Structures are given as structure tokens and as C-alpha cells.
Structure 1
Amino acid sequence: MIGNMSKILGQLQDLQQQLKDLTVEGVAGDGLAKVIMNGQQNILAVRFDPDRVTAVAPEVLGQMLAEAYNQAQVESKARAREQVTKVTGLDLANLPGIF
């Protein structure tokens, strides 16, 4: 039992690192706004197309940023769920609120 617990803890630590290293990108405005996020749903970067950003009203830019963030978050959660399933063998897709 203790040997299994040690193995499980090691797998969970590996999983945490994998999620930290995993990156996804949310894009809005046909590439004008981008949000890069990791598998732990931490924002790593926000980028704007410098050639087009000045032509967009601030409120529209804010909407694009929110759209890019939401897209990145959905993708990040899906990829994290895949990693958890791969490592644990448990399908957590039907458990609301986990991912």
C-alpha cells in the first residue's frame, strides 16, 4: 500500500510538471489578440498584432482579449483532462467542476 502511494505521488508530481509545461493559445480577431496559457490555466503571455491593434476601439480589443482568454482556458482544461486520464487511467470528463 505504501509503495503504491509513493508511486501515485510521483505520478502526480510528474503530472503537475507536465501541466505546467503544456501550452495552449487562444486567438481572437483573426489573430489580432492572442492569449498563451499553460495547463494549470496560468496566463504566460498576451500578444497583439502591432500593425492592427491601433485601428481597434479599446472596448472591442477588450472583447477580443476576453474571447482569446476563454478559448485558451477551454483548450487548457481539455488538454489537462487528457493528461490526467493518460497518467491515472481515470476518465474525469463527467465530473463537473474538476476541469
Structure 2
Amino acid sequence: MLGNMTKIFGQLQGLQQTLKDLAVEGSAGNGLVKVFVNGQQNIVSVHFDPERIHSVEPAEVGSLVVEAYNQAQSESKDKTKEVVSKTTGLNLSNLPGIF
């Protein structure tokens, strides 16, 4: 049993690193704002189109960042479910709210 626990623990550590390394992009404003999120739903970076950002009001930029983040987070959750399902062999698609 201890051997199985060690194996499972190793798989979980590998899974955590895989999710940390996963990169997903969300964009808004036809690419004006791009938000990159990892598989842990943490923001990795935010990019603005330097050619167009000056023509947008600050309040609109804030809204675009939120929109891009929400898009990236949703995609990240989907990819995370996929990665966890492949790694564990469990079908997580029927478990609402797990990610």
C-alpha cells in the first residue's frame, strides 16, 4: 500500500507542475487585450496591443481585461479537467464546480 501512495503522490506532484506550466490565452477587443492564465487559473501575463491601446478609455480597458480573463479562466478550467482526467483516468466532466 505504501508503494501505491508513493506512486500517487508522485503523480499528483507531476500533475501540479503540468497545470502550472499550462498556458491558456483569453482575448478581448479583437486582440487589444490578451490575458494568459495557467492551469491553476493564475494570471501569468497581460498584454496590450501597443498600436491601439492609446485610443481606448481606461474604464473600457478594465472591462476588456476582465472579459479576457474570464475567457482564459474558462478555457483553463476545461483544459485542466482534460489533463486531470487523462492523468487520473477519472471522468470529471460530470462533476460540476470541481474546477
TM-score by length of 1: 0.95
* 2:51 aligned counterpart, secondary structure: coil
* 1:27 aligned counterpart, secondary structure: strand
Report the CA distance between 1:84 and its aligned residue. Answer: 0.3
In structure 2, the residue matched to 1:29 is: 29
Aligned pair 1:79/2:79, yes or no? yes
Alpha-carbon displacement from aligned partner over 1:29-83 (angstroms, at most 9, x marks no partner): 0000000111111111011001101111112111111110000001111111111
CA distance in 2, matches of 1:94, 1:2: 30
CA distance in 1, matches of 2:12, 2:28: 33
CA distance in 2, matches of 1:69, 1:86: 25
Count matched residues: 99
Query: 4+ residue runs of structure 1 moved beyond 4 angstroms?
Result: none
Alpha-carbon displacement from aligned partner over 1:4-25 (angstroms, at most 9, x marks no partner): 1111111100000000111010
CA distance in 1, matches of 2:95, 2:86: 16
CA distance in 1, matches of 2:87, 2:29: 36
Report the identity percentage.
64
Counterpart of 1:92, as a letter, is: L
In structure 2, the residue matched to 1:12 is: 12
* 1:36 aligned counterpart, secondary structure: strand
Unaligned runs of 5+ in 2: none
Map residues 63-74 of structure 1 onto 2, 5 A cutoff: 63-74=63-74
TM-score by length of 2: 0.95
Greater Cα shift, 27-36 or 55-64: 55-64
